[in-house]
Amino acid sequence: MKLSGAEILLEALRLEGVKKIFGYPGGAVLDIYDRLPFTPLKHYLTRHEQGAAHAADGYARVTGKVGVCFATSGPGATNLVTGLATAQIDSIPVVAFTGNVPTYMIGNDAFQEVDTVGITRPITKHNFLVKDVKDLAETVKKAFHIAKTGRPGVVLVDLPKDVTREITDFFEEEYKIPVQIRSYKPVLKGHPGQIKKAAKAIASAERPVLYIGGGVVSSGASELVVKMAEVASIPMVATLMGLTAAPGNHPYFLGMLGMHGTYAANMAVTDCDLLIAIGARFDDRVTGKLSEFAPHAKVIHIDVDSAEIGKNKAVDIPIVGDAKLIMEELLPEVEKQVSKNREFLLSREKWLMKVKSWAERYPLYYEPSDRVIKPQFVIEKICEVTEGEAIITTDVGQHQMWVAQYYKFRFPRQLVTSGGLGTMGFGVPAAVGAKVGRPDKTVFCISGDGSFQMNMQEIVTAVQYSIPIKVAIINNGFLGMVRQWQGIFYDRNYSQVHLDVQPDFVRLVEAMGGVGLRVERPEDVEKALKEAISINDRPVVIDFVVDREEDVYPMVPPGGALHEMILPKYGKKKAKKAV
Amino acid sequence: MEKPNYRKHVISVLVENQPGALARIIELFSSRGYNIESLNVGHTEDPTISRITMVAKGDEHTIEQIVKQLRRIIDVFKVRDLTDKKKLDRELLIVRLNVDSTEKKEEVKRLVDIFGAQIVDVSHDTYTVELTGDEEQIDAFLELIKPLGVREMARTGRVAMVRALQGDTFGGEK
């Protein structure tokens, strides 16, 4: 069949199982957009290319499928950059297609020309510049293969305009032949000897802790990991990216560890004699001072990316491979070891008791108020009203940490948040993508007044396609996290963090065609949330005017060890709030 | 101050002969803050594959990271740290020397003879010398010849290959 490059691209996407695309047209991709209406692909026109990249990312995070976005050359491509970097550092499978100037003009400083593959090389898993239409189909196939296999990531395919216009043969049957990349063969199956060693270590440790990262969620290993915790009585802690792997109310789950982790999680890691890291990368926000991170522990590290093993912390039992495949082998081994050693396991009760006592002694806490809205109270209410079943997207800052602490998640892939890059402006477009991916779920974007203003134009996208996302702005009139740091470490020198001048969010959202609500009193929080949930044909934004100077605790000062947390000031009601 | 076991490593890499492959490798060094001392790229017996020999400085942990990060690059086939292997390891030096007197000419010829170098270009007052050898030989030659007056010099990075006794350089997995 003779097809143009544009048609080949769209055919290839269909054959890859792509159904939704987020994008923004422009000169260099005119030929692609010209053919797009004649395909079954549904395209969402975002209001900014950054929004398209975040939406594709959000879609990928909730579905586990590859997210796809389109942009034109030059500014279209550069506007994708933050979105692609956000997805790449969190290992999210996204394939981005950018137009470029025709091959014969490349390097000429032509109109809307940039070196897109050069710019995106450090923020993608791989990228391609297609110079010949004959290579196009194979390149698209490779792009999807690379994005979703091994450690998932971002692949960008740059398409000069003439390549999308030229005509060549395309055969569906040929496209369906699985791709082979001779220099790319990710290791997925764990080494059996290492798995046996790990099982023995797990069965013989006195104070083990499971340290769960995003890799557990993305490989689909969550249930197996929780099962192992139950079988071998192991407390679990999670990174921001790994939070949804374990149910938030699981008795062995201690919550998030790290800079804003719970007291129990951080103490458990500090005191453990075996740290079982799965799909986690010992990020600085997690470890604090490295030399005092899990200082007494033997370390098992399971990761699909061998370069993560030993990168920050020395590892005793490394296992390279896919977390799910490894857990399928490891769990039965652990069960075998445990059944041999019943009495010893009983002694682990002591460890569980100790962990529990930490959780009871210093739970998450904030001083409740019936005069002002406490931000944590809003998160708790959202959790309550949505019965812990909503998909939550966040922006970056204090509200993000409060979500991680106070929303009790129930199932994997429920939290969509920019962990590694910390991208403000992620939440709203990611919610659009998440709702497109999971229309059956309530999707709540919890944002801040600073973050919301970074990509609020995507509310218009949600209006256009009747995507009923909910947005809760935790509005403290500050860049709260920056203010918190200035307060604690810079002697309250609040420099450039006042957001005193703000749009009237209610009228702004109404002007964009959504529903705007404002809540200023604690007793009105629940009612507004219920109202928002009842609206199902357009986006709703609730402006929660909250306590201005609430800080996020616990907090490990930068460079400090995990056990050196700054704790909240506990009031009388402390005992009520369990972790 | 240099840390203990901070030393030069010779790393050999096979990559797809693709535009962008070399850029990816070089960017890896700059983005992760690794020190690269020299880098040499050339064809292999297979025209679709290039061979890169690089010399990088670092402690064992850094070098291990470099090797692992190189392996993550999609276009990279194989990476080997050849530092502690028995290997052939060569550089090429081309150096133009001022030889404005008979004594100097004689001295250069004598050193060229001793080192097994060659005079490959001659003018009234210069000799251009070519020398192949390992790093030490080339450093030694330069040291002796420098007082005579080096006008211009060019030196390649290293190329290296494991000795046949130890098998092929790139046996086994990636």
Say which residues have a Cβ less than 8 Å from residue B22's Cβ, sequence separation at least 6.
B15, B41, B50, B52
Identify the active-site residue in A228, A401, A481, A555. Answer: A481
CB-based contact A458:A436 (threshold 8 Å): no
pLDDT over 60 at B88, yes or no: yes
Quick count: other Cβ atoms within 10 Å of Cβ A111? 11
The full set of domain ranges for chain A reads: 2-175, 192-361, 375-552
One digit per residue, the tens of pLDDT, for chain A of length 579 reads: 999 999 999 999 999 999 999 999 999 999 999 999 999 999 999 999 999 999 999 999 999 999 999 999 999 999 999 999 999 999 999 999 999 999 999 999 999 999 999 999 999 999 999 999 999 999 999 999 999 999 999 999 999 999 999 999 999 999 999 999 999 999 999 999 999 999 999 999 999 999 999 999 999 999 999 999 999 999 999 999 999 999 999 999 999 999 999 999 999 999 999 999 999 999 999 999 999 999 999 999 999 999 999 999 999 999 999 999 999 999 999 999 888 877 777 778 899 999 999 999 999 999 999 999 999 999 999 999 999 999 999 999 999 999 999 999 999 999 999 999 999 999 999 999 999 999 999 999 999 999 999 999 999 999 999 999 999 999 999 999 999 999 999 999 999 999 989 999 999 999 999 999 999 999 999 999 999 999 999 999 999 999 999 999 999 999 999 999 999 999 765 444 444
pLDDT at residue number A574: 47
Chain A CB contacts of B74 under 8 Å are 125-126, 146, 181, 183-184
Q: How confident is the model at residue B4 (pLDDT cuts 50, 70, 90)?
A: low
Contact B27 A310 (CB under 8 A): no
Chain B CB contacts of A129 under 8 Å are 19-20
Chain A CB contacts of B16 under 8 Å are 183
Quick count: other Cβ atoms within 10 Å of Cβ B16? 19
Determine the CATH number of domain A375-552. Answer: 3.40.50.970
Chain B CB contacts of A127 under 8 Å are 20
Measured at the alpha carbon of residue A120, what is the angle toward residues A74 and B22, in degrees to the nearest 5? 120
Task: Tell me if A2-175 shares its fold with A192-361.
Answer: yes
Contact B75 A307 (CB under 8 A): no
d(CA A456, CA A223): 36
Å between A183 CA and nearest CA of chain B: 5
Contact B68 A306 (CB under 8 A): yes
Return the CATH superfamily for domain A192-361.
Answer: TPP-binding domain (3.40.50.1220)
d(CA A24, CA A36): 12
pLDDT over 80 at B39, yes or no: yes
CB-based contact A78:A96 (threshold 8 Å): no
Contact B174 A185 (CB under 8 A): yes
Alpha-carbon distances, residue A49 vs A44, A84, A357, A551, B51 (angstroms): 11, 11, 49, 33, 39
Q: Which of A183, A188, A189 to mutate to test the interface with B (most CBs of B within 10 A)?
A: A183
- CATH architecture assigned to A2-175: 3-Layer(aba) Sandwich (3.40)
Residue A352, helix vs strand vs coil: helix
d(CA A455, CA A467): 16
Interface of B with A in 30-49 (CB under 8 A): 31
d(CA A51, CA A433): 9
Quote the ipTM score. 0.89
Chain A CB contacts of B19 under 8 Å are 129
User: Average of pLDDT values for B95-122?
Assistant: 96
pLDDT at residue number A577: 44
User: Average of pLDDT values for B81-96?
Assistant: 95
Interface of A with B in 172-211 (CB under 8 A): 181-185
Domains annotated on chain B, with CATH: 7-81 (3.30.70.260), 88-159 (3.30.70.1150)
CB-based contact A530:A385 (threshold 8 Å): yes
User: Average of pLDDT values for B123-139?
Assistant: 96
Closest Cα in chain B to A149: B74
Reference A217, options A241, A234, A235; nearest CA is A241
pLDDT at residue number B32: 87
CB-based contact A99:A27 (threshold 8 Å): yes
pLDDT at residue number A578: 40
Chain A CB contacts of B23 under 8 Å are 118, 121
User: Average of pLDDT values for B37-65?
Assistant: 93
Reference B123, options B94, B96, B150; nearest CA is B96
Reference A272, options A321, A210, A219, A322; nearest CA is A210
Interface of A with B in 100-129 (CB under 8 A): 117-118, 121-122, 125-127, 129
Contact A125 B27 (CB under 8 A): no
pLDDT at residue number A530: 98
d(CA A562, CA A207): 17
Task: Considering only the beta carbons, identify the residue of A126, A129, A307 that sits closest to B69.
Answer: A307
Residue A458, helix vs strand vs coil: helix
d(CA B43, CA B46): 7
pLDDT at residue number B82: 94
Contact B72 A311 (CB under 8 A): no
| A440 alpha-carbon distance from chain centroid | 20
The residue type found at A64 is: G
A256 catalytic, yes or no? no
Peptide bond into A251 cis (omega under 30): no
Partners of B13 in the beta sheet? B52, B79
User: Average of pLDDT values for B83-106?
Assistant: 94
Q: How confident is the model at residue B3 (pLDDT cuts 50, 70, 90)?
A: low
pLDDT at residue number B173: 66
Alpha-carbon distances, residue A352 vs A229, A236, A252, A264, A331 (angstroms): 11, 11, 8, 11, 20
